[in-house]
Chain A
Amino acid sequence: MKKDKQLPNSQGYFGQFGGRFVPETLLPALDELETAYEKARRDASFWTEFGSLSHDYAGRPTPLYFAERLTRHCGGAQIFLKREDLLHTGAHKINNALGQGLLARRMKKRRIIAETGAGQHGVATATICAKLGLNCVVYMGEEDVQRQALNVFRMKLLGAELRPVSSGTKTLKDAINEAIRDWVTNVSNTYYLLGSVVGPHPYPLMVRDFQSVIGKEAREQILVQCGRLPDYIIACVGGGSNSIGIFHPFVNDENVKFVGVEAAGKGIRTGQHAATLAAGAVGVLHGAKSYVLQDDAGQILGTHSIAAGLDYPGVGPEHSYYKSIGRATYVAVNDKEALKAFQLLCHTEGIIPALEPSHAISYAAKMAGSLDRGQIIVVNLSGHGDKDMDIVTEALGVRL
């Protein structure tokens, strides 16, 4: 397992997954980005700045919290929550936006573009751009613009220009297409701040590195609090950045099992879901070879999840690799189960989780009951639920 720390290889591959399937115009830009990132990666001052802003501005470290009442409710393994919901802007997305924002500034690119689904990455990027004095353009599918109106307003308040995307399914995948088209057009002065461990090399590597702060902290914290490593780490998987972030620092700890939880939406059999690893096939989307939800003719399928942040037909290549070698197990939780877990955490712990990690909570709660009390589960609570109030009130049939 040791050699896996070295992945991706120099071509950006994790086993057979990854690579750079992009138009020629972007290859020099990706080379430039890779060179700049490798230089920053070896530069201690880059990580010092990243560390101090993570601490002073973003609010790191986040607590690893023993969820005592949730544990008692489930009646089995001890459940710990990694509280990424307590970060500035309410989710783990700020870790990556900060890291890449600092890199863009080093590369003297003053125009930043980003895609967003639920709006969390868009808000995080707009936030960092405001802080670093960079121009920010965010692409967002028209459908997401409508269902995430509050985040749209937040991005505008933070000074970002929001560009609704009306092509294709009008959701996250189309926003990424449009961001890539912008990048191809304005490549000389523009930095594409991609929000997940997807896309062409070096994005899956770079985003993993910035998000690995989650797992590094969690590893130290659990050793201090319990004197040993956890038995399971559970995290939700859309593109897969919060899950890679918490998994990766444990990758060589062979006794720590990883469980990635995808969105089963209305049920995998209905076709209205976003369970890419569970129901997809190997393909190429947005510049990388990985599992993709597609039809028999290789057309990318539309997705559904109550959690907009999981509503994506692709997944990071490193997850596909973990699946292929059996390092992680991937399961799926549907909208209803996620909504129940959302309420469960509210009632038992006084924490309102985002709908994305509610999928991970749901699976953890189920699993904990079947394990004995000596076992430890760490769940990545990747974001706060404030952004989801409209969706939850509607789903629960509540009128405000």
Chain B
Amino acid sequence: MSRIASVFARPNHTALIPYVTVGYPTVETTLKAVPLFASVGCDIIELGIPFSDPLADGATIQRASYEALRQGIDPEVCFEVAQELRRQVEIPLVFMTYYNPVLRFGPEQFCSKCAEVGIDGLIIPDLPPEEGKELEESTKRHGLDLVYLLSPASTEERIKLVTSRSSGFVYLVSLTGVTGARDILPEELESFVTHVRRMTEKPLCVGFGVSTPEQARRVARVADGVIVGSRIIQLLSKDKSLRNACSFVKRLREALS
């Protein structure tokens, strides 16, 4: 069983999946935050490789990506960071990035390097299954999961396509929009998740907009995992001690159990 699969094999457990942009605000922050998050009950960590044109991201992650790039964070640095983190934590690590940095690196070389440093999967928001064949061959060859995304706008046909091709879990985008903390999640969230649930046995994780323990609890009633990004980035940006981010993650964990 892959590391990701074993997360979802735990009965009555909702996975907590925080997102951090590698190198934001500093590489040291990433190296400290991830083991800390793992120690307070996070199940999978999404490591963002910054991209210059993150068109699925809202203002918070755009800014984090921009700042990280200014410090020279590139895929090579992200591999080094992942390798260092892998020495410290057991939980699955997945890269979230856009397709161009992967294509430039070479999909095969990229996946080979991921496997070498202990990355478990990839999430690429601008790569739908129709365009994912080349990368999928490489992820399979190197034992990585390639997570595809669904949105409330996805048609029946697309839900079938995405759920059949996604591996590790299926990433359900909670709303039609970009990433970013939201006060209110859409009313249709539950019906969206239960609708997809009827069409697949794969684990379903919900992200985009989730930014409070209450929202996380609501998501946990229907989904197998909760992904929280922008709110964590906001907390990391202000507080070098990581105290606020860590206590927020703890509260999320409590809300899910």
Chain A positions near chain B (C-beta within 8 angstroms): 11, 19-25, 27-29, 31, 167-168, 173-174, 177, 180-181, 184-188, 281-287, 289, 292, 294, 296-300
CB 8 Å contact bits of B65-108 with A (1 = contact, 0 = none): 01001000011100000000000000000000011111111000
Contacting pair A181 B53 (CB below 8 A): no
Known: A168-B66, A283-B100. A11 touches B173 (CB 8 A): no
Bound CA–CA A323/B14 (angstroms): 51
Is A294's CB under 8 angstroms from B126's CB? Answer: no
Assess whether A284 is in contact with B151, with CB atoms less than 8 Å apart. no
Contacts of A24 in B (CB 8 A): 125, 128, 148-151, 153-154, 158, 162, 173
Contacts of B51 in A (CB 8 A): 298-299
Given A168-B66, A297-B75, A299-B101, also A25-B126 (CB < 8 A): no
B residues less than 8 Å from A296 (CB atoms): 74, 104
Is B56 interfacial (CB 8 A cutoff)?
Answer: yes
Q: In the bound complex, do residue A28 and residue B153 qualify as a contact, i.e. CB atoms below 8 Å apart?
A: yes
| B55→A29 contact, CB < 8 A | no
Q: How far is the CB of A305 from chain B (nearest CB, A)?
A: 19
Contact, CB under 8 Å: B104 / A25: no
Known: A294-B104, A298-B101, A300-B100. A168 touches B53 (CB 8 A): yes
A–B complex contacts, Cβ < 8 Å, 25 sampled: A19-B131, A23-B125, A24-B154, A25-B177, A28-B153, A31-B155, A167-B62, A168-B66, A181-B55, A184-B55, A185-B178, A187-B176, A281-B104, A282-B103, A283-B103, A284-B99, A286-B53, A286-B55, A287-B126, A297-B75, A298-B75, A298-B104, A299-B69, A299-B101, A300-B100
Supply 9 further A-B pairs (C-beta < 8 A) apart from A25-B176, A187-B153: A19-B130, A25-B154, A25-B177, A28-B158, A181-B58, A184-B55, A287-B126, A297-B76, A298-B104
* Interface: B52 (CB within 8 A): yes
Closest A residue to B148 by beta carbon equals A24
Whether a CB of chain A sits under 8 angstroms from the CB of B36 is no
- Chain B residues in 8 Å Cβ range of A298: 51, 75, 100-105
Contacting residues, chain B, for A281 (C-beta < 8 A)? 104
Asked if B127 lies at the interface with its beta carbon under 8 angstroms from chain A, I say: yes
Q: When chains A and B are docked, how far (Å) is the Cα of A99 from the Cα of B145?
A: 43
Q: A22-B126, A173-B53 are in contact. Are A188 and B176 (CB under 8 A)?
A: yes
> How does the 8 Å CB contact mask read for B122-147 relative to A, with 1 for contact and 0 for none?
00011110110000000000000000
> Given A284-B99, A296-B104, is A21 in contact with B151 using a C-beta cutoff of 8 Å?
no
Measured CA separation A287–B98 after assembly (Å): 11
Q: Give the CA-CA distance A187 to B153 in the complex, in Å.
A: 9
Question: Which residues of A have CB within 8 Å of B101?
Answer: 297-299
Minimum-distance CB pairs A-B, first 7: A298-B104, A298-B101, A297-B74, A25-B151, A185-B177, A299-B52, A298-B100
Chain B min CB distance to A201 (Å): 10
Contact B104 A177, beta carbon cutoff 8 Å:
no
Choice from A22, A28, A181 contacting B154 with Cβ under 8 Å: A28
Min CB distance, A73 to chain B, in Å?
43
B69 touches A284 (CB 8 A): no
Chain B residues lying within 8 Å of A292, measured Cβ to Cβ, are: 100
Q: Which of A20, A180, A283, A286 contacts B128 (CB 8 A)?
A: A20
Complex CA gap A19/B62 in Å reads 25
Q: Which residue in chain B gives the minimum CB-CB distance to A287?
A: B126
Residues on the B chain within 8 Å of A174, using CB: 53
